[in-house]
Structure 1
Amino acid sequence: MKRTISKERLASKSKVGIVLRPSTPEIKNSYLKIKECFEKHNIKVYLERNSANMINEDGIELDTICENVDFLVSVGGDGTLISVVRRSFSYNKPVLGINLGTLGFLTDIRLNELETFLDNLDKDNYRIDSRMMIKGSANLRTFFAFNDIVISRNSLSSMIRIDAKLDGRPFNSYYGDGVIISSPTGSTAYNLSLGGPLVYPLTDAFIVTPVAPHSLTQRPLVLPADFEIEFTISDNQGAVVIVDGQDIYEIEQNQSIKIQIASKKAKLLHRRERNYFEVLNEKLQWGN
């Protein structure tokens, strides 16, 4: 099958919502430069309220911003972008990541490249990538992950047993520190640090990776995203579910966590020429 670049385009490019990396008030000078750059291109800027409070500016609640802007911008690093994607997911707004540090896996625009990017945006020379999101449900609560959902032991003194089913049929029992269920986007995160596979980010698949398994026969597994995966906690200590490293939920013994592909996808706004394998080469120093 031939891989094609998405032809999706922004319906309008006149309004943008900006979210800043939290707990970094020194980011204000960078924000003012970013705002000036957008306004130079006749794009009205709306600053998210928590970000605004941090730098003593006027701000608006993110939900209100999402209802009114054409796209969103996260300023900081990959963690900030992941948070923005999750918080704005229901509004279906593309998110651009501006990185203020080193090149990220997700945030590929540096501050000194923003002017060039906006010139290209004016010319419709950009790309919108659609990325799979994971839908999880437990205890009548539903949550969405961009990178991964981690089921982890609740006690540092003991391992945890997790029984797994695929479409209702038992397929494995994990015994160790836990299990990671990663999206292809998240394959470069916690999954990678545990020896899990890298999966091209526009693929639809789950990566199930055991954390410190008791048995060496437990290996990472890549599954088509049309499966429903169910994990049941057999350990009497219970477990915790960690969503994108940002939200934590407690799960009791014999309770289950169901994992599915979300019905919608997250959208990332990128330079047209951005190449995933060049990012891997730089971040992972392949060939060095």
Structure 2
Amino acid sequence: MKVAIYGQNYANENNQVAFETLLDELKAHEVEIYVEAQFLKLQKEVLHNDWSFGIFTSLDNSYDLLISIGGDGTILRAITYVKDLDINIVGINTGRLGFLATIQTNEIKDALAEILKGDYKISERSLLSVDIDPENKDVKTTNFALNEITISRKNTTSMITVETHLDDEYLTSYWADGLILATPTGSTGYSLSCGGPVISPEASSFVLTPIAPHNLNARPLVITDKTDVKLKVSGRENQFLLSLDSRIITLPNTATVRIKKADFKIKMVELNSESFLDTLRKKMLWGEDRRN
């Protein structure tokens, strides 16, 4: 098996512990290991002379698995390496909540043994793709997002107006700080913080969630994932922000943003002992009562 390791791009003691543990276990299983170049630079102080692995700056279909060390944000950056390649992804959580990165550092040994035996399931996650008119070079190569695509105001405290069309039919003009279009995966992220619903990963749906709308009757709207969404911004400033997960660019108000379901999916590894409902219950503390 050929395994790639990717991690957060800043030094972190938890990352180093997880990285060292992971290398020990992979070496014991005689796995072919490659580490992302920038992440490796931050880990040199914990390297052992008897560790042997390669370095990668890009991936191809010769890789079987990418292991992400960090939080959910790290996985969102990791998918820019995977793109439409047939590579499974698994996350080791050294961050906080972790809806995607669910394996804790103390679980690496047992989890890795199951994964290398093939004792796991795959959760295929839909993505969003974006096209800008006129074309923008900043989104030509990474024009996709796993969690959400967000439009928001820039350099102003004034709200913006986001004119929204679904399949070329006018929906409404949101007067708000911005608008989120989230996948089921992203429904537990920014959209949830803005009052959006939690959507099961298997659902064929997206959700439009306004950010602090001034028209108070504007509510999150669940739409089919076959919908083509067209957005046009107007406001006091001449520019707005477009974010694809954690990647942010500035666009002029003359730009038209078109969003649809991407033509590929990301394959997330889940242990057989895990489920989305179990993760949701644990992370959201559903059913917890401090009185008990």
Q: Which residue of 1 aligns with 2:50?
A: none
- CA drift of 1:122 comes to 4.0
Length-normalised TM-score, structure 1: 0.89
- CA drift of 1:202 comes to 2.1
Q: Which residue of 2 aligns with 1:83?
A: 77
The letter of the residue matching 1:178 is G
Q: Which residue of 2 aligns with 1:286?
A: 286
- Number of residue pairs matched? 273
1:140 and 2:140 are equivalent in the alignment = no
Length-normalised TM-score, structure 2: 0.88
- CA drift of 1:198 comes to 0.5
Deviates more, 1:92-101 or 1:177-186: 92-101
The whole-number CA distance in structure 2 between the counterparts of 1:107 and 1:135 is 23
Q: RMSD of the TM alignment (CA)?
A: 1.7
Contact kept, 8 Å, 2:162 with 2:234, in 1: the verdict is yes
The whole-number CA distance in structure 1 between the counterparts of 2:266 and 2:217 is 34
Contact kept, 8 Å, 1:236 with 1:253, in 2: the verdict is no
1:112 and 2:99 are equivalent in the alignment = no
Q: Which residue of 2 aligns with 1:22?
A: 9
The letter of the residue matching 1:94 is N
- CA drift of 1:152 comes to 0.2
The whole-number CA distance in structure 1 between the counterparts of 2:262 and 2:10 is 31
Q: Structure 1 residues 220, 97: CA separation in 2 closer, same or farther (over 3 Å shift)?
A: same
Q: Which residue of 2 aligns with 1:8?
A: none
Q: Which residue of 2 aligns with 1:224?
A: 224
Listed one character per residue, the Cα deviations across residues 188-243 of structure 1 (whole Å, up to 9, x for unaligned) are 00111111111001222111000111111111000001110000112251311011
The whole-number CA distance in structure 1 between the counterparts of 2:175 and 2:97 is 36
Q: Which residue of 2 aligns with 1:124?
A: 118
Which residues of 2 match residues 1-288 of structure 1 at below 5 A? 14-26=1-13, 27-56=15-44, 60-63=55-58, 65-102=59-96, 104-138=98-132, 139-141=134-136, 142=140, 143-237=143-237, 238-244=239-245, 246-288=246-288
What SS does the aligned partner of 1:118 have?
A: helix
- CA drift of 1:161 comes to 0.6
Q: Structure 1 residues 25, 103: CA separation in 2 closer, same or farther (over 3 Å shift)?
A: closer
- CA drift of 1:128 comes to 1.1
What SS does the aligned partner of 1:91 have?
A: coil
What SS does the aligned partner of 1:98 have?
A: strand
The whole-number CA distance in structure 2 between the counterparts of 1:188 and 1:60 is 33
Contact kept, 8 Å, 1:126 with 1:272, in 2: the verdict is yes
What SS does the aligned partner of 2:242 have?
A: strand
